[in-house]
Chain A
Amino acid sequence: QVQLVQSGAEVKKPGASVKVSCKASGFIFTNHYMHWVRRAPGQGLEWMGIINPGADSTSSPQKFQDRVSMTWDTSTSTVYMELRRLTSEDTAVYFCARGLWNQRFSPFDYWGQGTLVTVSS
């Protein structure tokens, strides 16, 4: 069965970086786009970007472009999201999600369990 298992909770100081991992299983990793979504306390969901492991490409909204790096390791079917120069506004639960279709906009049919990132001095 399809599973996305994320790394554990993190506590970071302002200005630091955080790297969250998401290990996929139960499907052919390079056949699906993967996405990152976050939910800050009291806020709605926010799309952070997309990874296409099969075509060696990533894309993210302008809001995150200079602070986020999305990478992957095909040998372990794992995607990573690194967010730099953290502020308190980055405190959120971060989710990886699989795209149902291989295109920039797609429903997300499977989600990781979420990783809480807390930014506090």
Chain B
Amino acid sequence: QSVLTQPPSVSGAPGQTVTIPCTGSSSNIGAAYDVNWYQQFPGKAPQLLIFANSHRPSGVPDRFSGSKSGTSASLAITGLQAEDEAEYYCHSYDSSLTTSVFGGGTKVTVL
């Protein structure tokens, strides 16, 4: 059971917008700790997609955006493309556990 909660899967047609929620609690996201997002393709290492809630590393398309409010965060993918099919993970810090914590991952399927 992951500390951060994500839906197992989301799907959308090419060109549509999908949003992946990440729900935490008062000891992690709600305690003002940043949220990061990673994209992982099968058999590959995760790649940093969004850091500090809403910042994109260089090279990440602006179709990807992140936001945070209260005890939750979300990743939006606008103009969905076939190449966006991957697993997406949110990541934050939990002050009760004193560890980095991840969501369980969300599989994005492009219909």
CB-contact partner of A113 in B45, B52, B92, under 8 A: B45
B105 engages A107 (CB within 8 Å)? no
B46 engages A95 (CB within 8 Å)? yes
A105 engages B100 (CB within 8 Å)? yes
**At the interface, yes or no: A53 with Cβ under 8 Å from chain B?**
no
**At the interface, yes or no: B76 with Cβ under 8 Å from chain A?**
no
A45 engages B105 (CB within 8 Å)? yes
Among B46-74, those with CB < 8 Å from A are 46-48, 51-52, 57
Given the known A-B contacts A100-B51, A107-B51, A107-B91, are A47 and B46 also in contact in the complex, defined by CB atoms under 8 Å?
A: no
Chain A residues lying within 8 Å of B34, measured Cβ to Cβ, are: 105, 107
Q: How many residues of A contact B (CB 8 A)?
A: 19
Interface set of A (CB-CB < 8 Å, partner B): 35, 37, 43-47, 61, 95, 100, 104-105, 107-109, 111-114
Interface set of B (CB-CB < 8 Å, partner A): 2, 33-34, 36, 38, 44-48, 51-52, 57, 89, 91-93, 97-105
Known: A47-B100, A100-B48, A108-B46. 17 other contacts (CB 8 A): A44-B2, A44-B102, A44-B103, A44-B105, A45-B89, A45-B102, A61-B98, A61-B99, A95-B46, A105-B33, A105-B92, A105-B100, A108-B36, A108-B38, A108-B48, A109-B48, A109-B57
A-B contact pairs, 25 of them (CB 8 A): A44-B2, A44-B102, A44-B104, A44-B105, A45-B91, A45-B105, A46-B102, A47-B101, A47-B102, A95-B45, A95-B46, A100-B48, A105-B33, A107-B34, A107-B48, A107-B51, A108-B38, A108-B48, A108-B91, A109-B51, A109-B57, A111-B45, A111-B47, A112-B45, A114-B45
